[in-house]
Structure 1
Amino acid sequence: MAWTLLILAGLIEIVMALALKHTDGWTRPWPTTLGIGAALASIFLLSAALRELPVGTAYAVWTGIGAIGVTLVGIVFFGESAAPARLALIALIFVGIGGLKLLPS
């Protein structure tokens, strides 16, 4: 269950980052509210996952999911670079997350 909570926390972190992109310096109320709400939900789920998972593992996976997700959304929806080197480095983050999942807690 802890891994499910952690993955969900990482996915919500993606929502938070994307909402913050649209806050225009905290001047737009709806993206700001969504960003803050998503941040709180993500941290809540992370803290629940930390009941069973080591903090270093959980934090690395949480931030890794966010980094991968936001990068892929940026490529698909915002026209950000999809250079092969960039994709290869993002793939390394993915491999790292998978490796952490395979290790004993």
Structure 2
Amino acid sequence: MEKIYHIGVEATLDVIGGKWKPIILCHLGNGPIRTGELRRRIPNIAQKTLTQQLRELEEDEIIIRKVYNQVPPKVEYYLSEEGKTLREVLIAMAI
């Protein structure tokens, strides 16, 4: 079922609401980053939660997951163009 939003803030909070997504987005704003590095930069997040949050952000097209064809596998995450616009909102909120 498609969600209906009455104002833009509802949609924004649905996508980046919660404890961890804004933090993840701020870290990704500095450039592509691997999951392990995100885990080190956000030590209080559980691996399962990090994976779940990354998947949700990817589904919402806020971040892009790039898989390199190598052994061992290498995966990087970075902000999509839409994600970059959300990061600007987060920076404004932090000031």
TM-score, scaled to structure 2: 0.34
User: Greater strand percent: which structure?
Assistant: 2
- In our comparison, the structure showing a higher alpha carbon Rg is 1
TM-score, scaled to structure 1: 0.32
User: Greater helix percent: which structure?
Assistant: 1
